[in-house]
Amino acid sequence: MKKLVLAEEREIERTLWRLTHEILERYGGASDLILIGIRTGGVPLARRIQRMIQEKEGFQVPVGTLDISLYRDDWSRISFHPEVKATEIPGSLDDLNVILVDDVIYTGRTVRAALDALMDFGRPRRVELAVLVDRGHRELPIQPNYVGFHIPTRPEEHVNVLLKEVDGRDTIVLEVPGSD
């Protein structure tokens, strides 16, 4: 399998700053915002955006963690005993602007599951999606509002986002099967 490095720490950091600025620009600041990271890759990204907003605005936006395991439409294909981790939403989402954060969007099914899960925590004013990588190939009519990198891929390829909070380094890697 051939692995191509597409972005490293500096470029990822710069891109997260751009996404943060786009979010703040759209909302005219950070009030009434909450960031919700989709487990697993979206959680550290949401926390980074939170820190960037804090640095820029002097305001700490709440951050939540969303586990979508039981909301997936394919969980019975993956395992009869899905590994469910904690969902931590700091209070009701009623009338808040929610920014869902994930590392990669592909088919849109993870986001669909996240939207289903979110509705258990209230009725947000608006839900938007921020992703570090959009690799295309949607199966559902779901598009992110904020995109770090558009990386066109083939279905058999894989985009792997490594984050220093989990993997010890920041790198985006494209894995191409059948080549060395």
Task: Quickly count: other Cβ atoms within 10 Å of residue 159's Cβ.
Answer: 20
Contact 117, 87 (CB under 8 A): yes
The model's pLDDT over 139-178, given as tens digits with 9 standing for 90+, comes to: 999 999 999 999 999 999 999 999 999 999 999 999 999 8
Cα distance from N-terminal residue to C-terminal residue, the chain = 5
Write down the pLDDT at residue 69.
83
Contact 61, 179 (CB under 8 A): no
The model's pLDDT over 44-57, given as tens digits with 9 standing for 90+, comes to: 999 999 999 999 99
Give the closest residue to 113 by CA, choosing from 84, 72, 67.
72
Mean pLDDT score, 6-15: 98
Per-residue CA distances from 32 to 49, 98, 163, 168, 172 (Å)? 15, 8, 28, 33, 31
pLDDT grade for 39, boundaries at 50, 70 and 90: very high
Write down the pLDDT at residue 80.
53
- The tokens describing 57, both together, are 């605005």
Beta bridge partners of 34: 98
- The tokens describing 117, both together, are 């899960």
Q: How far is CA 177 from the centre of its chain?
A: 25
Contact 124, 93 (CB under 8 A): yes
Write down the pLDDT at residue 83.
67
The model's pLDDT over 73-99, given as tens digits with 9 standing for 90+, comes to: 555 454 555 566 778 999 899 999 999
pLDDT at position 5 over 90:
yes
Instruction: Give the C-alpha separation, 89 to 80, whole Å.
Output: 26
The chain-wide mean pLDDT, for the chain, equals: 92
Instruction: Give the C-alpha separation, 139 to 24, whole Å.
Output: 30
Write down the pLDDT at residue 21.
98
The model's pLDDT over 62-75, given as tens digits with 9 standing for 90+, comes to: 999 999 987 765 55
Write down the pLDDT at residue 86.
79
Write down the pLDDT at residue 180.
58
Could you tell me the fold of the domain covering 11-153? Rossmann fold (3.40.50)
Contact 174, 6 (CB under 8 A): yes
Please give the model's pTM, rounded to 2 decimal places: 0.92
